[in-house]
Amino acid sequence: MQTAEVVIIGGGIVGSSIAYHLIAAGCRDVLIIERESALGKGSTGKSMGGVRAQFSTPASIQMSLYSIPFYAEFEERLGFPCDYRPQGYLFCATNEKQMAYLRTNFGQQVKMGLKNVRLVEGQEIASMFPQLRSDDIVGGSFCSTDGFVDPYSAMNGFMMWSTDHGATLWKNTSVTAISRDAKGIAFVETTRGSVATRKVVNCAGAWAAEVAALAGIDLPVEPLRRMLVPSEPFDQFPHTAPMIIDMSNGFHFRPEARGFLLAWNDPEETSGYKTDFDPGFVEKILTRAADRVPCFADLPVNPKRAWAGLYEMTPDHHPILGESADVPGLFFANGFSGHGVMHAPATGKILSDLILTGKTDLIDASLLSLSRFAENRLIHETAVL
């Protein structure tokens, strides 16, 4: 019978970060179970890779204040690259209501200790990026330490460091049952046999509810398709640009390789395990792209290179973190609602603290417990892209 002090279900960036933080804190017996033949086949490898601290709630901001400096020092700490590029995030407001919203968020961000965020005038945005149609941009907010990482590299870095330092990784392995006894979690049944353990972490991404159900828990996490469209090489917009967000409709884009990566949250999208790219999306997003960036009317795009991934949505767009009140030893790291890559370092630290000591000082973890839904104390994150 195999035994492990902690079993992590899911080897994406969140599971990899938790493994790293557990082992770095002295926990030596960690088993990561990944159902795919390679890591990153779930949401991690399909992420846009944005990292930002420009959020609206203290919990989200606090997680970014740990995660972004971690990414900045990633290679120094782990010896592997994550390709952190601090090119910033620029939110462009097109009316006074949006500007008031950014001002409120700015106040919260500064109060929490974010140093590099500032409000900008519409005229400054126009002079920074004359290629933007800026006749309706009244202002915005910009943070220079926001930017992008390569999610695949970061995930691999976490996992390779972890396995180099004693973690065990099982690929091509599915969890088929989670068994309990009077004390809580007792066994995990897998396609490679049983594992005796008292601590299990659900890091199954968009499939988190299915894993939770194995332990008799109803987890409010739903998959939602998000599609990304990369362009072919294009040099009529600066590649030093930040992630630029058009708040009038949610269209956003950033430099990627020699082209650009375009994203937009289609309000008509419905939840479900849809991972096929819809070719009709190209026209929808290019219409919005050309409207805000007129030179993008000539942006060359090959729909065959576009892709779809899954967000794991919770009702309030905040993750579910921490131990189950009903099943001792079952821990959740789920429902990141599109922020899993950017908040993976903080999640690793928080879960490692909770698993090993029962408490964490990084955030008030009780705010993100599963029980908030039954107790109707949701904390809505409105700065969701």
Position 118 scores a pLDDT of 98
List average pLDDT for each run of 10 residues in the chain, which is 385 residues long: 96 98 96 94 90 96 98 98 98 98 98 97 98 98 98 97 98 97 96 98 97 97 97 98 97 97 94 95 98 97 95 95 97 96 98 98 96 91 76
The whole-number pLDDT of residue 40 equals: 87
Name every residue whose Cβ is closer than 8 Å to that of residue 18 and which is 6 or more positions away in sequence.
8, 201, 203, 333, 347, 348, 351, 352
Domains of the chain: 2-49+151-220+315-374 (3.50.50.60), 87-146+223-313 (3.30.9.10)
Q: Which pLDDT does position 379 carry in this prediction?
A: 84
Question: Both tokens of residue 252?
Answer: 């956003």
- Residue 137's nearest CA partner among 175, 181, 105, 90 is 90
Pairing of strands 30-33, 139-143: unpaired
- The answer to whether the CB of 20 falls within 8 A of the CB of 158 is yes
Taking only the tens place, the pLDDT of each residue in 227-239 is 999 999 999 999 9
List, as one string, the DSSP characters of 206-269. GGHHHHHHHTT-----EEEEEEEEEBPP--SS-TT--EEEETTT--EEEEETTEEEEE---TT-
Q: For position 381, what pLDDT does the model report?
A: 79
If DSSP codes are grouped into helix, strand and coil, which group holds residue 9?
strand
Q: Please report the pLDDT score of residue 9 as a whole number.
A: 98
